[in-house]
Chain A
Amino acid sequence: MTAPRGIIKLLATACAALCLCSAAFAQDNLSVDIHGPGQARMNVVQAQPFGDPNLPSDAQYLNELIRKNLSFMPFLKVMSDADILGGARLSGPKADQIDFKPFSLAKVDLMITSVWKPGKGMGDVELRAFEVFSQKLLLGKVYSGVTRDQLPEVADRFCMELMALLTGQGTIFKAKLAFVRPSGKGKDIWMVGAMGRDLAQVTRYGDLGMAISPAWSWDGSRICFTLIGSTSHYLGVWGGGKANVYTLPSSTVISPHFTPGGSIAVALNIRGNTDIFTLDGSYKNTAGTLVADSSIDVSPSFDQSGNLMAFVSDRLGNPNVFIKDLSSGSVRRASKSGYNTNPSMSPDGKFVTYSKQGGGGHRIYVYEVATDSEKQVSFGPGSDENPSFAPDSYFIAFSSSRAGGRKLYLTTRNGDGAVQIPTGEGEALMPAFSPVVGKD
């Protein structure tokens, strides 16, 4: 899961001059306000790879990888080669050799170029992003001596920088998701990068058990989950290798979730009702009670301060999402009407996303704490469930049956068009973002 050493080295030698140019222009040119209520899309086009003098055979592969990454940015409209008069061709590698007119005529806002030069492996590749209107360089990076295997990493790193430049946030390209995949009679936990890379199986219970409701520790090193066996539920905790299984003082173990403080909050039935408790460090006993009443209380989710906890309670009849201020003990209702479950609090504590049941299934909603208002951000068809906020508090992953079998999708808190996250063969459900991004 860690970045190859080679690529770290080559990034260390990346062209500093190009980077400095880009930073200087960033604020004066194109930018996207991801904090607003949605925005117009920016037109982006990729020029065909330019060989200086020769083009390696896999040059197009890097362009495809970058194109896929760009398609995850809902504020970009990725144009095709055919949209540009005469094709998106470069007449030379440098800015003053590029004819921007055909791109300007096609209303392109942002152009991305890749120039290949001789070097080790496939060679050195220079990736640049230009603002077409001003013909200014926004971002430039050199990756030296790259191999084909390193190209996904190159694409992710360049796009991460580009998104950071445009929006101030680029962490989505390094974010990890845990999710659930049915396997025969059982279910297992898997993980994948937000762009669909580095797919890996975490648990292997097969028909023996159902591992569901994965949730990450706040340092990104562990995943806790519910394990349903033939006579009881158990708590599973994975930290690499084989997961530990814990028998708790309740045969019902629902929605375990790490608190930012490092303990686990979980819904247990100890007093005849499902209430939310914290566990002690050994996971043998409960350490404290977060919510307890005569109704069903499940699905805790915390902001990064650990002060706010969203949870589900059916204290008013239907299940609804509430937010508890853990320092004052005050509780406010978030969801406004109907059947609302699966809350995920944004790490910055400003939003809660959840699924609301409608006529044809569930839809994803986002509640804004400051304005006490909710809005719909997914529109089916099928059923959209289990939303999870990304570490940037902007992107939201959820599962949907819109294309038949359940798969994972990525949208934003503004409800931008959802893009499917590649997760390989089989269904994928219950996505959970790691609260932190992978380290370099």
Chain B
Amino acid sequence: MKNRLLLAILALMCVSLLSFGCASKKVAGPDKDSWEEQERERLAKERELREKLAKVAGELGSMIYFDLDRYDLKPESRQILTRKAEILKQYPEIKLVVEGHCDERGTAEYNLALGERRARAAADYLANLGVTASRLSIVSYGKERPLDPGHNEAAWSKNRRDEFKPSY
């Protein structure tokens, strides 16, 4: 009985360690190399991967959208994410960066937190479909990178979105 309890506790600890965006960041402290250089390498690899993936890159990259101040997934978003999970199973070497975005009406810092919830909602859904948590990372842009620069509902509804970037 005691052993079972111990196992359950250990299992819970493992699950909590696999949370997106947290456990994946093992490096801590000041970056020793140039951050700019590392970022350039990351972006170059991403471009290279997109070219290699060709056909499926479009499906992996297709966006999902959210209602105002919401971060729950719409039925059509679930379909899109299910397809992404299938592709990720076919390409086990690929990781996926989920980007959360908001429209311009909120303010920057609160929107970073809201964008994070949107990214996390998609990442959680993919994990539930069997994608290993270590293959998923999330980054919130809040309202900092709108897709449509307009100041109306048509633009705002396009900007409340998750984008998906394949990476190694």
Contact = CB atoms under 8 A, between A and B. Distances in A.
Interface of A: 185, 187, 205, 208-210, 212-213, 226-234, 244-252, 254-255, 267, 269-270, 272, 274, 282-285, 296, 298-299, 312, 314, 319, 339, 341-342, 355, 357, 362, 385-386, 430
A296 B69 CA distance: 13
List the 4 closest pairs (A to B, CB-CB), nearest first: A251-B21, A245-B35, A341-B107, A284-B28
B110 A246 contact: no
B18 to A, nearest CB: 12
A430 B165 CA distance: 28
B112 A252 contact: yes
A246 B46 CA distance: 22
B40 to A, nearest CB: 7
Interface stretch (B59-67, B81-89, B135-143): B135-143
Nearest to A362: B107
A230 B25 contact: no
Max chain B Cβ within 10 angstroms of own Cβ: one of A230, A244, A285: A230
Contact of A230 (B20, B21, B120, B139): B139
Given A254-B112, A298-B113, A228 B107 contact: no
Contacts of B27: 247
Given A231-B167, A251-B139, 8 more contacts: A231-B42, A247-B27, A272-B19, A296-B110, A296-B114, A342-B107, A357-B105, A385-B108
Contacts of B24: 251
A255 B120 CA distance: 19
B15 to A, nearest CB: 11
B23 to A, nearest CB: 8
B124 to A, nearest CB: 10
Nearest to A430: B108
Nearest to A299: B109
The B interface is mostly helix, strand or loop, or mixed, namely: mixed
A230 B39 CA distance: 7
A317 to B, nearest CB: 10
The A interface is mostly helix, strand or loop, or mixed, namely: strand
Given A231-B167, A232-B25, A298 B31 contact: no
Contacts of A386: 107-108
Contact of B144 (A210, A299, A312, A314): A210
Interface string B88-123: 000000000100000001111110111011001000
Contacts of B112: 226, 233, 252, 254-255, 298
Given A231-B137, A247-B27, A251-B25, A341 B109 contact: yes
B56 interface: no
A385 B28 CA distance: 33
B31 to A, nearest CB: 5
Contacts of A255: 109, 112
A355 B97 contact: no
Contacts of B107: 341-342, 355, 362, 385-386
Max chain B Cβ within 10 angstroms of own Cβ: one of A270, A283, A296: A296
A352 to B, nearest CB: 15
A135 B31 CA distance: 64
A87 B112 CA distance: 56
